[in-house]
Homo-oligomer: A and B are copies of this chain.
Amino acid sequence: MKSYRVVIIGAGNVAYHLVRSVTSSGNKLIQIYNRTLSNISSTSNSNITGTLNSISQDGDIYIICVKDIAIEEVAAKLRLGDKLVVHTSGNRSMNLLNECSENYGVFYPIQSFTRNIPINFKKIPLVIEANSETAQEMLVDFSRSISQQVILMNETDRQKLNVAGVFVNNFTNYIYTLTHDYLKKENIDFNILQPLIQNTVDKLLLGNPSEMQTGPAVRSDQETINSHIELLKQYPQLKDIYQDISNSILEYYKSN
Contact = CB atoms under 8 A, between A and B. Distances in A.
Interface of A: 13, 67-69, 91, 110-114, 117, 119, 123-125, 127, 149, 151, 157, 159-183, 186, 188, 190, 192-201, 203-219, 221, 223-224, 227-228, 231-232, 237-238, 240-242, 244-245, 248-249, 251-252
- By DSSP majority rule, is chain A's interface helix, strand, loop, or mixed? helix
A64 to B, nearest CB: 16
A99 to B, nearest CB: 20
Contacts of A199: 111-112, 119
29 contacts: A67-B219, A67-B221, A68-B224, A91-B228, A110-B196, A113-B214, A117-B207, A149-B192, A160-B182, A160-B186, A160-B231, A162-B228, A164-B182, A164-B183, A165-B193, A167-B179, A168-B193, A170-B213, A170-B216, A173-B213, A174-B245, A177-B210, A178-B252, A180-B208, A180-B209, A181-B210, A194-B204, A197-B204, A240-B248
A255 to B, nearest CB: 9
Contacts of A91: 224, 227-228
A221 B179 CA distance: 24
Contacts of A183: 160-161, 164
Give the residue among A67, A162, A164, A193 with the most B Cβ atoms within 10 A: A164
A160 B184 CA distance: 11
Given A151-B192, A171-B175, 7 more contacts: A149-B192, A166-B228, A168-B193, A170-B214, A240-B248, A241-B245, A241-B248
